[in-house]
Amino acid sequence: MRAVLILLFIAVCSFGLKAQSKISVKLNSVYETGNYKKLHKRAVRAAQKNKKDPVAYYYISLANYGLYKQFNYRSNLSYSIVNLKKARKYDKNAFYWKALENNFSALKKSMASQATFYFRKNKNKSLQFCKNYTLIFGDSLAEHANLEELSNQPIKRRSTLNPSLSIIKSSSAKRDSMKYIAHSCIGIPYKWAGESKKGFDCSGFVKYVYDYVGVKLPHNATKIAHLGKEVSGKSAQTGDVILFGSKNENGFRAYHSGIIYENENGEIKLIHSITKGVHITSDYDRYWKERTLFIKNIIDYPKLNNELTLKSY
């Protein structure tokens, strides 16, 4: 009798795994199309049929993160994290996680950059991101290692923080934070000489984003052009500054500046403040490329660029 029960249990488990395998294949096929609304609908339906199915919650999380990237609704990011926590909870021995972990690398970066972003603005929210990051990924964020020690200290202004904690040391962490900070400025109107969220001009926007990660820049595109190390369009990274202008026998003049939002295999997305305000431009090759003076890596080379021989006029 006992042997029969064991065999029955194995058969039930095997049937359950096969059913989950079919669900995983169906949901993954929708995920690969990039139709996140459809994926969300189907994954929620799967979760309703089996409230402890980790596969369903993994894809609900992926659907919400995809919607967050498309529409920038912060609620989608929150739902993505909540459902990923559920999936990890129900995924015994991380059976499905091992196959799906790579799909969450972008969410992992977003959670890290959010934790960094809120570090100066809302320490409790930053701490929550850190805890969820550790719970989900089994990893910790080094720049927030001492955040819990500050959780009971009121933050009245930035100067009350431990100076060693207010500086983001990692270049990649700075770049991730700059991308998020720059994105949060989308829609802010153009304002001549502006350098706050009430309005930006081009170099004021660049200065604002860099100031947030502890790099002080002048409020002048030509002066910014003399900083950092010149890099190619192919090797440029998120956070690098693009200077636009003209050259002649007397030297150069930069009349506009922006920040690289993304660079995928040389396809540059530029975020900058122009007459219609802060926005992301994806027509770099069609319009902006031929007007480019320099692309500068100032994150890793914040000092004066001695290699720049051209003089500004």
Catalytic, 226? Answer no
| CA–centroid distance for 249 within its chain | 41
Catalytic, 272? Answer yes
Rounded to an integer, what distance in angstroms lies between the CA atom of residue 97 and that of residue 88?
7
- Nearest Cα neighbor of 197 from 278, 123, 110, 279 is 278
What is the identity of the amino acid at 267? Answer: E
- Nearest Cα neighbor of 282 from 270, 272, 291, 274 is 270
Catalytic residue, from 40, 144, 226, 272: name it: 272
What is the identity of the amino acid at 299? Answer: I
Residues whose CB is less than 8 angstroms from the CB of residue 63 and which lie 6 or more positions away in sequence, other chains included: 31, 36, 37, 39, 40, 43
Mapping DSSP to helix (H, G, I), strand (E, B) and coil, where does residue 200 land? strand
| Other residues' Cβ atoms within 10 Å of the Cβ of residue 279 | 14
Catalytic residue, from 40, 144, 226, 256: name it: 256
Catalytic residue, from 202, 219, 226, 279: name it: 202
Rounded to an integer, what distance in angstroms lies between the CA atom of residue 18 and that of residue 137?
27
Rounded to an integer, what distance in angstroms lies between the CA atom of residue 123 and that of residue 134?
16
Tokens of 7: 């065999």
User: Left, alpha or beta for 95 (phi > 0: left; psi -120 to 50: alpha)?
Assistant: alpha
Catalytic, 130? Answer no
| Other residues' Cβ atoms within 10 Å of the Cβ of residue 226 | 19
Instruction: Indicate which residues carry an active-site annotation.
Output: 202, 256, 272
